[in-house]
Amino acid sequence: MYNDTIAAISTPIGEGGIGIVRLSGPEALAITSKLFTEKLADHRVVHGHVIDPNTKEIVDEVLTCYMAAPHTYTAEGVVEINCHGGPMPLQAILGLVLKHGARLANPGEFTLRAFLNGRIDLAQAESVLDIIRAKTSASLRVAMNGLEGNLSRSIKTVRTELMNTLAYLTARIDFPEDEIEEQDIVPILKDTRDKLQKIASNADQGIIYRQGVKTAIVGRRNVGKSSLLNRLLKQNRAIVSPVPGTTRDTLEEVVNIRGVPFVLVDTAGLSAHHGLVESLGVERSREAITKADFVLLVIDSSAPLRSTDRDIINILSDKSVLIAANKSDLRKRVNLDNIPNEIVYISALTGEGIDQLEGKMVEYILGGKASSCDTLLVSNPRHKACLEQAITHLNQALAAISSQMPDDFVTIDLASALNTLGEITGETVNDELLEIIFSNFCIGK
């Protein structure tokens, strides 16, 4: 299947200055040569025209680059045709490429070929998608660290130590009559386990940078939730009105707050009495609260605390909640002395306290730990799960040694740890997992 030549449009759908049709495979150069008016040279950009061989009509004026294997993204022969970035020229060129021998690429198939051909490992391949989807500069930095192989090198170092230990135990089991020098493997196993625990310890923070923090902005009606959303976004995204209940549905936007992507969800105001449309909005508000990783509870600091406010606080008892006491530009009339949550006084109207609120939001999410440029962050939930499984297997191996169980029991857990770590870098991956991973990619990458 992977010996044929694939092609796809590698730029986003829609109008743009430039669009790219990419080919990869053994016939990439031959197919392009049938359509391109000029002769192509390795790793050179050549100006010319794409023509329809049947009609001799010019399809578009293009810049074409041929890259010979193995020095390409896929480690195969690759051609990239840079044409005008409209749907018609892109589809016309792709149609000609497919007509003359290429196959339409599956989602992520270019990156899959890069993995299968050994140019990158699986962790690096997954980082490609993270780079594409990065929402902040910090997210991009974490993804680039993955693409550069920082996680892969750490995992491979641990796997090498475990393989050497497993080889030693296997030799003792298979050749009991030989005099094999006695080794104390407990320090080795503890050391490798500790290394994995250190890598896994930052996983939650890395996943935050990768996926963002689902943040519900909640509160009763007319406390300024939409005004706060607009202030955090630094644009008028939500409709703001002095009439209570303006927001009837949830509104979702992503904002970069000090490198952390917050997925802000503005919700309909919660109240005891509402009509049918408002009821639907309130129901969606409750759903947003359920799905949220973090909640900003907005309270009107210019009015006494109402029973509705207290009801909302009770609803949020199992959530991570930060209270934004809005309208601090007005006379303070609220009493929050008995509220257990941390409170930041703000004015969504004037911007007072917003900088402090943003700082507290990031502090809540990162637990006061900001990542440095050289910090290895695991940002993929799949990788985190594999690390945790491997740590469990190593703890079981250590427990088996402590209980003076036969070496066979120890080798079972060591082999399981090796296999699980291999799923991160791809040494022990199966076809089903590959299909799941690469199905998340867009066609053309």
Name the pairing type of β-strands 213-218 and 78-85: unpaired
371 is a domain residue: no
Angle at CA 210, nearest 5°, toward 229 and 239? 15
445 is a domain residue: no
| Together in a domain, 217 and 354 | yes
| Together in a domain, 216 and 337 | yes
18 is a domain residue: yes
| Together in a domain, 154 and 284 | no
Q: Characterize 100-134 residue by residue with b for buried, 16 or more Cβ atoms within 10 angstroms of its Cβ, and e for exposed.
A: bbbeebbbbbbbbbbbbbebbbbbbbbbbbbeeeb
- Please state the domain count of the chain: 3
| Together in a domain, 24 and 114 | yes
227 is a domain residue: yes
d(CA 327, CA 136): 30
Instruction: Give residue 183's pLDDT.
Output: 87
279 is a domain residue: yes
Q: Give 10-residue mean pLDDT values along the chain (445 residues).
A: 90 92 98 97 97 96 98 97 96 98 96 96 95 92 94 95 95 79 92 96 92 93 92 74 50 91 87 48 78 94 92 89 95 90 95 96 81 75 97 97 94 97 94 92 90
Q: What count of Cα atoms within 13 Å lies in the side-chain half-sphere of residue 16?
A: 13
| Together in a domain, 405 and 283 | no
29 is a domain residue: yes
Residue 220, helix vs strand vs coil: strand
CATH of the domain at 220: 3.40.50.300
| Together in a domain, 155 and 215 | no
Range of the domain at 84: 6-121
CATH of the domain at 100: 3.30.1360.120
Instruction: Give residue 373's pLDDT.
Output: 54
- Strand ranges inside 25-68, DSSP E: 44-51, 58-67
Query: In terms of C-beta density within 10 A (0-12 exposed, 13-18 middle, 19 or more buried), how is residue 388 classed?
Result: middle
CATH of the domain at 406: 1.20.120.430
| Together in a domain, 160 and 297 | no
Do residues 171 and 185 touch, judged by C-beta distance below 8 A? no
Instruction: Give residue 286's pLDDT.
Output: 81
d(CA 272, CA 112): 54
Q: Quote the pTM value.
A: 0.85
Record the tokens describing residue 339, joined without a space. Answer: 């509220």
- Alpha helix (H) ranges present in 175-255? 186-201, 203-211, 225-233
Instruction: Give residue 382's pLDDT.
Output: 96
Question: Among 245, 57, 260, which Cα is nearest to 141's?
Answer: 260
Helix (H) or strand (E) holding 6: strand 6-9
| Together in a domain, 325 and 404 | no
CA torsion sign for 203, 343, 296, 273 is: positive
Query: In terms of C-beta density within 10 A (0-12 exposed, 13-18 middle, 19 or more buried), how is residue 53 classed?
Result: exposed
Instruction: Give residue 277's pLDDT.
Output: 38
Q: Identify whether 70 is preceded by a cis peptide bond (ω within 30 of 0).
A: yes
**Alpha carbon 116 to its chain's center:** 22
DSSP 42: B
Do residues 393 and 417 touch, judged by C-beta distance below 8 A? yes
Separation in Å, CA 41 to CA 16, 61, 78, 139 = 27, 18, 12, 37
DSSP 148: T
